[in-house]
């Protein structure tokens, strides 16, 4: 995909409110990091009070995935999750606009040698992530240290799309954005020995998925990870990031490649991935994107797990 380019069309009055919003956000993220964390928590509190539908989805997911926790424990976790989501708004802006040197000071990286070794051997890598609220800043921090391509879905608003892509791609001029549906391009990148960010932890419908357990619930799980690894002759390297509680930044971990992957069947592979997702989400549940309807698609004959969307 070509690099994003500024167009005179972006100066049209219809985009002025968005330009104003971006301008105000740019000013806010010049503030000290600790203050932005506090502003993010305040925004999260506001979202908790007003985003009723998303709050209900997140609460239902926590109820389904952590039935052993008390209602009070899940409520505390829900509020912390919205605080993390509010902080993510400012983290996105930091990753787009902060000077690279300032941003780099927040990174505490482990396991970079796994990506470097694959690159030395000309081996493609599926950098397998999950949808933590810190995913935007995590990808930016890692992108400063190693070339990472990414799966991409074009935003409906062309100006937002331009700003977003420009912010994401500035950390590594060699990186490329690949349309999510462009399977050929993804396989080409993998066979060329590059690393591509990919997260298989959301519900993409029945057509691309099989049902395997996740937190004890049958969940529609994409089989694409197996297909990409096999056809792209790529290693699957898990990647996690976590916002540190002491305010010192982010712990980024590139884990060792999965051994014996792909395995004997797509079902066995999907189960293995879901078990890993359970493990990393349980280690930091307050920073996971619970507002996604992960169990929306149900096996034939099973009742729906979410109420009607308002």
Phi, psi of 212 (to 5 degrees): -140, 160
Are 147 and 172 contacting, i.e. CB atoms less than 8 angstroms apart? yes
**Percentage above 90 pLDDT, the chain:** 85
Per-residue pLDDT reduced to its tens digit, 79-138: 999 999 999 999 999 999 999 999 999 999 999 999 999 999 999 999 999 999 999 999
For residue 46, the enclosing domain spans 12-287
Please check whether residue 1 lies inside any domain of the structure: no
Please check whether residue 257 lies inside any domain of the structure: yes
Please check whether residue 131 lies inside any domain of the structure: yes
Are 143 and 111 contacting, i.e. CB atoms less than 8 angstroms apart? no
Please check whether residue 304 lies inside any domain of the structure: no
Please check whether residue 246 lies inside any domain of the structure: yes
Per-residue pLDDT reduced to its tens digit, 174-228: 777 777 778 888 899 899 999 999 999 999 999 889 999 999 999 999 999 999 9
Q: What is the mean pLDDT of the chain?
A: 93
How many CA atoms, within 13 angstroms, populate the side-chain half-sphere of residue 15? Answer: 17
228 contacts: CB under 8 Å, gap ≥ 6: 126, 186, 187, 190, 198, 234
Q: Say whether pLDDT at 1 is over 90.
A: no
The whole-model pTM stands at: 0.93
Please check whether residue 185 lies inside any domain of the structure: yes
Looking at residue 76, its pLDDT comes to: 98
Q: How many domains does the chain have?
A: 1
Alpha helices in 105-210 (DSSP H): 112-120, 135-143, 158-169, 183-191
Please check whether residue 307 lies inside any domain of the structure: no
Please check whether residue 298 lies inside any domain of the structure: no
Looking at residue 310, its pLDDT comes to: 59
Per-residue pLDDT reduced to its tens digit, 7-20: 999 999 999 999 99
Gyration radius from the chain CA atoms: 20
């Amino acid at each position: 995909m070509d690099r994003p380019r500024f167009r005179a069309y972006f100066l049209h009055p219809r985009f002025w409110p968005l330009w104003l919003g971006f301008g105000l956000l740019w000013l806010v993220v010049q503030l000290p990091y600790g203050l932005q964390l506090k502003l993010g928590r305040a925004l999260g509190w506001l979202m908790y009070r007003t985003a009723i539908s998303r709050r209900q989805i997140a609460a239902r997911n926590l109820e389904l995935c952590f039935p052993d926790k008390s209602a009070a424990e899940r409520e505390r976790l829900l509020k912390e999750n919205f605080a993390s989501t509010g902080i993510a708004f400012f983290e996105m802006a930091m990753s787009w606009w902060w000077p690279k040197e300032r941003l780099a000071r927040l990174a505490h990286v482990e396991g970079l040698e796994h990506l470097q070794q694959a690159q030395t051997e000309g081996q493609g890598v599926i950098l397998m992530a999950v949808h933590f609220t810190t995913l935007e800043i995590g990808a930016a921090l890692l992108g400063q240290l190693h070339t990472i391509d990414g799966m991409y879905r074009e935003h409906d608003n062309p100006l937002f799309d331009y700003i977003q892509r420009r912010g994401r791609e500035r950390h590594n001029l060699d990186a490329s954005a690949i349309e999510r549906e462009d399977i050929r391009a993804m396989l080409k990148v993998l066979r060329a020995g590059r690393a591509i960010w990919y997260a298989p932890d959301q519900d993409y419908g029945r057509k691309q998925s099989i049902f395997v357990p996740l937190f004890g619930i049958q969940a529609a799980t994409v089989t694409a990870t197996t297909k990409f690894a096999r056809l792209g002759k790529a290693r699957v390297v898990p990647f996690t990031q976590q916002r540190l509680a002491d305010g010192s930044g982010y712990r980024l971990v590139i884990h060792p490649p999965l051994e014996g992957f792909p395995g004997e069947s797509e079902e066995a592979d999907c189960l293995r991935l879901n078990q890993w997702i359970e493990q990393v989400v349980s280690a930091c549940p307050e920073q996971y994107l619970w507002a996604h309807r992960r169990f929306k698609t149900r096996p034939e004959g099973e009742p729906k797990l979410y109420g009607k969307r308002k």
